[in-house]
A = this chain, B = another copy of it.
Amino acid sequence: MDRVTDVFKALADPTRRIILDELTARDGQTLFELCARLLTQHGLGSSRQAVSQHLGLLEDAGLVEVRREGRCKFHYINTDPLGPIVQRWLRGGDAAGSRKETT
């Protein structure tokens, strides 16, 4: 329902932030590739299912997009949702009062 909540909840987990770091360093990775690089580059021993669920949340939040090709699934970072959510409080003034519903 609430996309803003989904974005912040997705970013609230350190593992998911590192996943976004990895996709920033190398976009279009598969699930196994991400698992391997989380272990070798960041010392995270997260299981395949755990990483898969993290990617599902990131996808629901719109921060990761997916391209299927055969039995493989490539993940791409999408930073579009990050822009407006923080500037909500940066330009102090009418950000809260005039808006209808930006919960």
A residues apposed to B, CB below 8 Å? 2, 4-5, 8-9, 11-14, 17-18, 20-22, 24-25, 65, 76-80, 82-83, 85-93, 95-100, 102-103
Contact = CB atoms under 8 A, between A and B. Distances in A.
Question: How many copies make up the complex?
Answer: 2
Nearest to A25: B96
Contact of A90 (B22, B79, B89, B103): B79
A83 B96 contact: yes
Contacts of A92: 24, 77, 79
A9 B9 CA distance: 7
A102 B79 CA distance: 13
A88 to B, nearest CB: 8
